[in-house]
């Protein structure tokens, strides 16, 4: 199935006062590249998120953005070392009594003391919270895939239609190829006859036949037509595949364009030249579309 490299997926869910939002954006890229942006407290899940998304993306640049809003984010993100806090409060009271000091250690001062307040590291064993996040990432990835496949169907329709047109033109080339030699032979003999009628010697017909044979060999495009046909069949086969086919299609289009160029340069027959130009124009349109195929 043809897939587009571009797409967008989003999933939003809430638990209590916490809202989790996952956005996935995919754009064209030569290779597969997945960037993940997570809240600091969830950074331990980055590799899991990347591996999960990679199951739905075969090629392209993908940006995964995960945002967590709500009071519970702080509960997840920070922790208090109560033992240290108790020791600091105890020491503060002892110093106040011993030195007859006024005032006590306030909450603000206590929280600012190094080591009392710190980020709670999230691990793979974090349980329900991690499972919840990964479930939402999976749902957003499915949403992304749905859009990529929908665009892929449109790309498939467009590419298949253009390929069918090129195959029809290739069949015409098969029919026109021998006509080019015949036309050259007719024109060549006509010109020689006109010239021979004024020349004081008789025309060497064997030499004329050699010249026509030489032209026929030089302008023979049968091999190029055969290769062009083969590339068309390979292209059609790739369109029905389930793998990442974008780069293969691009390569085939390059080869098809090479054959069309050779046909245009070798054929000394206007109808063939016109068809070669039409084929090259259609190939260029197909190549623009293929740049977006995964």
Q: What is the DSSP letter of 219?
A: T
The residue with greater pLDDT, 72 or 131, is 131
* C-alpha distances out from residue 46 to 7, 15, 53, 85, Å: 21, 21, 11, 32
Residue 232 sits in the same domain as residue 195: yes
Answer yes or no: is pLDDT of 13 > 50. Answer: yes
Per-residue pLDDT of 137-188, as tens digits, reads 999 999 999 999 999 999 999 999 999 999 999 999 988 887 766 666 666 6
- Per the DSSP assignment, residues forming a β-bridge with 23 are 10, 65
Structural domain count, the chain: 3
pTM higher than 0.85: no
Residue 206 sits in the same domain as residue 248: yes
- The mean predicted confidence, pLDDT, of the chain is 85
Quote the domain boundaries for residue 86: 82-115
Rounded Cα gap, residues 6 and 217, in angstroms: 48
Residue 256 sits in the same domain as residue 203: yes
Residue 231 sits in the same domain as residue 266: yes
- pLDDT, position 74: 42
Residue 17 sits in the same domain as residue 130: yes
Residue 135 sits in the same domain as residue 266: no
Per-residue pLDDT of 205-220, as tens digits, reads 676 666 656 655 566 7
Residue 35 sits in the same domain as residue 109: no
């Amino acid at each position: 199935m043809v897939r587009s490299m571009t797409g967008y997926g989003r999933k939003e869910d809430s638990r209590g006062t916490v809202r989790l939002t996952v956005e996935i954006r995919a754009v064209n890229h030569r290779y597969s590249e997945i960037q993940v942006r997570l809240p600091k407290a969830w950074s331990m899940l980055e590799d899991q998120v990347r591996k999960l998304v990679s199951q739905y993306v075969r090629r392209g640049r993908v940006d995964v953005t995960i945002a967590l809003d709500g009071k519970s984010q702080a509960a997840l993100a920070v922790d208090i070392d109560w033992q240290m806090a108790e020791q600091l409060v105890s020491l503060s009271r002892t110093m106040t009594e011993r030195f007859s000091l006024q005032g006590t250690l306030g909450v603000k001062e206590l929280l600012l003391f190094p080591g009392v307040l710190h980020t709670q590291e999230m691990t793979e064993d974090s349980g329900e919270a991690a499972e919840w996040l990964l479930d939402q990432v999976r749902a957003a990835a499915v949403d992304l895939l749905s859009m990529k496949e929908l665009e892929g169907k449109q790309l498939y329709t467009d590419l298949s239609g253009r390929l069918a047109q090129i195959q029809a033109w290739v069949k015409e080339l098969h029919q026109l190829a021998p006509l080019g030699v015949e036309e050259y032979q007719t024109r060549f003999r006509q010109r020689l006859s006109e010239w021979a009628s004024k020349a004081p010697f008789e025309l060497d017909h064997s030499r004329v036949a050699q010249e026509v044979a030489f032209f026929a060999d030089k302008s023979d495009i049968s091999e190029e037509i055969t290769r062009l046909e083969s590339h068309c069949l390979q292209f059609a086969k790739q369109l029905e595949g389930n793998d990442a086919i974008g780069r293969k299609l691009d390569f085939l289009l390059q080869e098809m364009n090479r054959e069309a160029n050779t046909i245009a340069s070798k054929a000394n027959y206007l109808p063939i030249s016109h068809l070669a130009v039409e084929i090259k124009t259609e190939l260029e349109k197909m190549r623009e579309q293929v740049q977006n195929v995964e």
